[in-house]
């Protein structure tokens, strides 16, 4: 049985606005940009009191802080799913310790419920509903394809936010296969690679909006190739002046 966090009194947080939230989240290491975080914040703040958000991939808690501060005024819950596996790429147990310290430092220990497990292992037996889904887990095609199946626990009209959409090859291929040709999610908009989908039957216009993102995706893949080849000056010709991948 997973322990539930205590509900918060909304009167305790009258100053939980966007500027203070971003100032708090920006102290946490991670790759979430301000515009991407604002997309999450707006979706979470629009939810009714007592709502819950399921986050796949929490790392050190940068996005978790945004979601937690958006929900705590109404006694909501962030269900943070991350296995914190060992390895240089993922951080392992040390990352979990940083995550827990960041959540405590933000005063969100009664809002955030950590489930330390793989999303793909957890999903088949999951039965709880939630109101918003945020996917920022492993970026391969197979994991993203499985993570999209969490949307069955969402009500009609709910948001599905996906990070590194139209930036990661695996994530984008998953979107093309399961959303472009699917019947349950409709693409709405993005902030850089942070994209918002809605649980509803897509129209033809919705599908064309996905196709319209493909040139930007191809540009990002080309930039990544140049960065891998240590050709950063060439990447600048594509408007990317950073040693990090576009996200």
- DSSP-assigned letter for residue 177: I
pLDDT at position 156 over 80:
yes
Q: In the prediction, which pLDDT does 245 show?
A: 82
pLDDT at position 21 over 70:
yes
- DSSP-assigned letter for residue 87: S
d(CA 125, CA 66): 28
The b-or-e profile of 106-135 (16+ CB within 10 A means b, else e) is bbbebbbbbbeebbbebbeebeeebbbbbb
Q: In the prediction, which pLDDT does 88 show?
A: 60
Residue with tokens 């995706």: 217
Q: In the prediction, which pLDDT does 85 show?
A: 79
Task: Lay out the sheet containing 77-81: strands in order across.
Answer: 112-115, 77-81, 52-56, 132-135, 159-162, 194-199, 185-191
Contact 74, 50 (CB under 8 A): yes
Q: In the prediction, which pLDDT does 224 show?
A: 87
Q: In the prediction, which pLDDT does 239 show?
A: 87
Q: In the prediction, which pLDDT does 246 show?
A: 82
Q: In the prediction, which pLDDT does 207 show?
A: 97
pLDDT at position 14 over 60:
no
For 84, the 3-state DSSP assignment is: coil
Q: In the prediction, which pLDDT does 2 show?
A: 39
Distances (CA, A) of 245 to 170, 189, 192: 15, 21, 12
For 131, the 3-state DSSP assignment is: coil
User: Average pLDDT, stretch 44-52?
Assistant: 97
Q: In the prediction, which pLDDT does 238 show?
A: 86
Q: In the prediction, which pLDDT does 93 show?
A: 62
DSSP for 38-52 reads HHHHHHHHTSPTT-E
Q: Could you state, in order of their start, the residue ranges of all structural domains in the chain?
A: 23-212
- Specify which residues 186 forms β-bridges with: 198
pLDDT at position 15 over 80:
no
The string of pLDDT tens digits covering residues 174-205 is 999 999 999 999 999 999 999 999 999 999 99
Which of 48-57, 81-90, 139-148, 216-225 is predicted with the least confidence, judged by mean pLDDT?
Answer: 81-90
User: Average pLDDT, stretch 207-222?
Assistant: 94
Q: Domain 23-212 is classified in which CATH homologous superfamily?
A: Vaccinia Virus protein VP39 (3.40.50.150)
Work out whether strand 159-162 and strand 52-56 pair parallel, antiparallel, or are unpaired. Answer: unpaired
Q: In the prediction, which pLDDT does 237 show?
A: 85
* Average model confidence (pLDDT) across the chain: 91
Q: In the prediction, which pLDDT does 53 show?
A: 98
Work out whether strand 77-81 and strand 52-56 pair parallel, antiparallel, or are unpaired. Answer: parallel
Q: In the prediction, which pLDDT does 242 show?
A: 85
> What pTM value is reported for the model?
0.90
Share of the chain above pLDDT 90, in %: 77
Q: In the prediction, which pLDDT does 90 show?
A: 55
The string of pLDDT tens digits covering residues 72-83 is 999 999 999 999
d(CA 209, CA 221): 19
């Amino acid at each position: 049985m997973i322990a539930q966090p205590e509900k918060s009194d909304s009167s305790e947080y009258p100053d939980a606005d966007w500027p203070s939230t971003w100032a708090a989240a920006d102290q946490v290491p991670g790759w979430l940009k301000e515009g991407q975080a604002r997309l999450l914040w707006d979706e979470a703040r629009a939810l009714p009191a007592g709502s819950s958000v399921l986050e796949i991939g929490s790392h050190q808690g940068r996005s978790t802080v945004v979601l937690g501060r958006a929900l705590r005024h109404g006694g909501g819950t962030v269900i943070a799913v991350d296995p914190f596996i060992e390895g240089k790429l993922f951080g392992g147990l040390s990352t979990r310790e940083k995550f827990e310290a960041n959540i405590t430092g933000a005063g969100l220990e009664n809002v955030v419920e950590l489930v330390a497990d793989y999303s793909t292992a957890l999903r088949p037996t999951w039965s709880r509903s939630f109101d918003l889904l945020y996917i920022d887990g492993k970026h391969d095609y197979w994991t993203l394809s499985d993570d999209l199946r969490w949307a069955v626990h969402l009500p009609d009209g709910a948001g599905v936010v996906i990070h590194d959409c139209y930036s990661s090859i695996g994530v984008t291929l998953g979107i093309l296969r399961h959303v472009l040709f699917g019947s349950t999610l409709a693409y709405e908009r993005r902030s850089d690679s942070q994209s918002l989908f809605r649980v509803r039957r897509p129209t033809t216009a919705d599908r064309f909006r996905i196709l319209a993102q493909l040139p930007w995706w191809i540009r990002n893949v080309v930039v990544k190739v140049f960065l891998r080849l240590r050709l950063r000056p060439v990447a600048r010709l594509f408007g990317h002046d950073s040693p990090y991948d576009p996200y």
